[in-house]
Amino acid sequence: MAHISFHEAYMQVPVVTRTYATACLFTTLAVQLEVISPFQIYFNPELIFKEYQLWRLITNFLFFGKLEFNFFFNMLFLYRYCRMLEEGSFRGRTADFVFMFILGGTAMTLVAFFVNLVFLGQAFTIMLVYIWSRRNPYVRMSFFGVITFRAPYLPWVLIGFSIMLGNSIIVDAIGVACGHIYYFLEDAFPEQPAGFKILHTPRILKYLFDPPPDADEYATLPEAERPGGFAWGQADNGPPLEDGGDEHGGENQ
């Protein structure tokens, strides 16, 4: 296999995943190096609407805490599941993917007005995991090689893992709730007998983000590197399931 430089590998990551993951990494590093303070970027409605510090509406999604286990765990999940969504069900539909980001971020921001949350990046990551899991219902996964389950149970396994670590599940619950709202409006309701499509991506986003039909600017992950690949939460690409579902194929804080 030809050697691929870091820059080439980086540019092969689809644009939304690349941009968001990079922004999260640099924001966290800037805080760690004390270039900026967490107090300058956390979600604070009073400072946003009275002092017009509008950047807080975005920066609170970009910080995962100190460079510790929780940070790397969230970054891993963010990268893998954001990329798999962008390369999978949103492939060639970058505008729709950006619209999902906007809807999810808006929903979480509204929730943050009523609960005491100052950073929403972790909830956003769980939302991405939830949507991916619902769109890949026949994927079999394993967690730490101890339990096996299908992808739709992954968010609940992660919530259980958070409880084991003594973390609050409020953030995860918000991510699951916002993910379910999007999944219901975009995937479930339109398929009902009297259903219809509710979410429509604005034309301006399609103009800005959707490439020409024949454009293909990035490479997908090799099958062996898709879902899972970790001893503590990997997919099982075993024989077909009894109900004939397709399989491809792990996790959180």
Segment 207-249, tens digit of pLDDT: 999 866 654 554 555 544 444 433 344 445 444 444 444 434 4
Helix (H, G, I), strand (E, B) or coil at 170: helix
251 versus 85: the higher-pLDDT residue is 85
Q: What is the pLDDT of residue 228?
A: 44
220 versus 89: the higher-pLDDT residue is 89
Q: What is the pLDDT of residue 44?
A: 94
Give CA angle at 107 (20, 58), nearest 5°: 35
Residue 170 CA to residue 84 CA, distance in Å, equals 25
Query: Which CATH superfamily is 6-214 part of?
Result: Rhomboid-like (1.20.1540.10)
Q: What is the pLDDT of residue 65?
A: 84
From the CB of residue 122, how many other CB atoms can be counted at a distance below 10 Å? Answer: 27
pLDDT 10s digits, 41-78? 999 999 999 999 999 999 999 998 888 888 888 899 99
Q: What is the largest CA-CA distance in the chain?
A: 59
Tell me the residue ranges of DSSP E strands in 10-169.
Answer: 140-143, 147-150
Dihedral, 247, 123, 39, 51 alpha carbons, nearest 10 = 120
Residues 67/75, Cβ–Cβ less than 8 Å: no
Q: What is the pTM of this model?
A: 0.81
DSSP string, 206-231: HHHHPPPTT---SPPPPGGGSS--ST
